[in-house]
Chain A
Amino acid sequence: MKLNSKTLLFLSLPLLFSFSSMASSMAPLTFNAPRVLLGDDDKKGEDADEEDDEDRDRYLAVIGGDVYSGNGSVMRGASILAKNGIIEEIGHDLWIPEEAEVLNAKGMRVYPGMIAVEASPNIVVSTSRSADEGLGDLHVHPVDEEIDPLAVFEAFADELLEGRHSVEDSYDPFSQSLVLALSSGITSTVSNGTAIKLKRGEIDDLVMSENSQVSMAWSSKNPAGRRSLREKFEAASSYLRDYRVWEKRPKSEEDTKAPSEKGVDKNVVAVLTGQKRARFTSNEQGDLLSLARFAQQYEFRPIIVGCIEGWTVADELGRAGATAIITPRDRRDRNEMLNRESGSTIENAAILYEHGVQIAIIPSNTGFDMGGQSGRDLMHLPIEVGFAMRGGLPESAALDSVTVVPARLLGISHRVGTLEEGKDCDLIVTDGDLLHYQTFVQYTVVDGSIAYDKQKEIFFAHIRPRATEEVFDPGEEVAEDVDEAVVEDSEAATDESSEDSPTDEEGADEDSEEESDEGGDESEEDGR
Chain B
Amino acid sequence: MIRLSRFSVLCAAAMVCAPVFAQERVEAGKPGGPGLAIKSAKILTCELDGRGVVDRGVLLVKDGKIEAVGEARSLEIPAGYELVDVGDQWLMPGMIDLHCHAGAIESLLVNDLNDTVFLTNPGLRAFVGTKPGNKRLLLGLQGGVTSVLVIPGSGSNVGGQGVLIKTGHDRFEEMLLRNPGSLKVAQWGNPESWGPGVGKTFETWSIGDAFERGLGYAQRWEAFEKNGGEEPLVDPQWEVFRSLLAQETQASVHTQMYQVVLKTITQLKGEFGIDVYIDHGSIGAWRLGDIAEEMGVAAIVGPRTTDTIARGFINWGQLGIDDVGFRGLAAGYQERGLKLIGFNTDSPVMPEAELSLQAGVAVRYGFDDSKMAAVKGLTIIPATVSGIDNRVGSLEVGKDADILVISGHPGDPRSVIDRVWLDGEDVYNSATERRRW
Contacts and interface: CB of A to CB of B under 8 A. Distances in A.
Interface of A: 1-3, 8, 11-12, 133-136, 329, 331, 333-334, 341, 343-347, 370-375, 380, 383, 386-387, 389-391, 435-438, 457-464, 499-500, 508-509, 512-513, 515-517, 519-520, 523-524, 527
Contact of A383 (B42, B307, B328, B413): B413
Interface stretch (B22-30, B198-206, B240-248, B347-355): B347-355
Interface in B379-437: 407-409, 411-416, 434-437
Interface range for B: 35 or more
Name B's interface SS.
Answer: loop
A524 B55 CA distance: 9
A346 B308 CA distance: 30
B364 A437 contact: yes
Contacts of A345: 434-436
Please provide the 8 A-B residue pairs with the shortest distance between their CB atoms, ordered closest to farther.
A459-B325, A372-B304, A386-B413, A520-B55, A512-B409, A370-B311, A458-B325, A389-B414
B412 A508 contact: yes
Contacts of B135: 333
Interface string B324-356: 111011010000000000000010011100100
B237 interface: no
B316 interface: yes
Given A329-B354, A343-B436, A459-B325, A372 B306 contact: yes
Contacts of B42: 513, 516-517, 520
Given A371-B311, A391-B435, A513-B42, A464 B316 contact: no
A283 to B, nearest CB: 15
Contacts of B325: 457-461
Name A's interface SS.
Answer: loop
Given A374-B361, A512-B408, 4 more contacts: A344-B436, A345-B434, A373-B305, A435-B414
Contact of A390 (B283, B314, B351, B413): B413
B305 A374 contact: yes
Contact of B437 (A346, A374, A462): A346
A509 B408 contact: yes
Contacts of A11: 313
B35 interface: no
Nearest to A386: B413
Nearest to B88: A509
A519 B357 contact: no
A464 B369 contact: no
Interface string B168-210: 0000000000000000000001100100000000000000000
B282 interface: yes
A83 to B, nearest CB: 34
Name the residue among A12, A372, A527 with the largest chain B CB count within 10 angstroms: A372
Given A133-B310, A391-B435, A372 B363 contact: no
Interface of B: 42, 44, 51-55, 73, 135, 139, 154, 189-190, 193, 282-283, 303-314, 316, 323-326, 328-329, 331, 346, 349-351, 354, 357-358, 360-361, 363-366, 369-370, 372, 407-409, 411-416, 434-437
Contacts of B53: 516-517, 519-520
A2 B310 contact: no
Contact of B316 (A1, A371, A500, A509): A371
A329 B309 CA distance: 27
A128 to B, nearest CB: 15
B155 to A, nearest CB: 8
Contacts of A458: 309, 323-325
Nearest to B329: A372
A390 B364 CA distance: 18
Nearest to B346: A1
Nearest to B410: A512
Contacts of B413: 383, 386-387, 389-390, 437
A136 B312 contact: yes
Contacts of A386: 412-414
Given A386-B414, A500-B370, A437 B324 contact: no
A516 B409 CA distance: 10
A74 to B, nearest CB: 19
Nearest to A437: B360
A387 B351 CA distance: 14
Given A3-B314, A136-B311, A383-B357, A375 B409 contact: no
A184 to B, nearest CB: 11
A437 B55 contact: no
Contact of B370 (A372, A389, A515): A515
B323 A437 contact: no
Nearest to B327: A462
Contacts of B324: 458, 462
B369 A500 contact: yes
A370 B308 CA distance: 6
Contacts of A527: 73
Contacts of B190: 1-2
Name the residue among A375, A386, A387, A519 with the largest chain B CB count within 10 angstroms: A375
B346 A508 contact: no
B435 A346 contact: yes
B282 A372 contact: yes
Contacts of B366: 462-464
Contacts of A435: 414
A134 B360 CA distance: 30
21 contacts: A134-B312, A134-B313, A329-B351, A331-B139, A344-B436, A370-B308, A370-B309, A370-B316, A371-B304, A371-B308, A374-B304, A383-B413, A436-B412, A437-B411, A437-B413, A438-B363, A463-B331, A509-B408, A512-B408, A517-B53, A523-B55
A512 B412 contact: yes
A322 B312 CA distance: 41
A463 B365 contact: yes
Given A346-B437, A386-B413, A135 B408 contact: no
Contacts of B360: 375, 383, 437
A516 B372 contact: yes
A198 to B, nearest CB: 18
Contacts of B436: 334, 343-346
Nearest to A458: B325
A374 B311 contact: no
A134 B154 CA distance: 27
Contacts of B369: 500, 515
Contact of B357 (A8, A344, A375): A375
Contacts of B139: 331
A291 to B, nearest CB: 23
A499 B313 CA distance: 37
A516 B314 CA distance: 39
A347 B412 contact: no
B2 to A, nearest CB: 48
A333 B307 CA distance: 33
A390 B357 CA distance: 12
Given A438-B364, A457-B325, A516-B53, A508 B370 contact: no
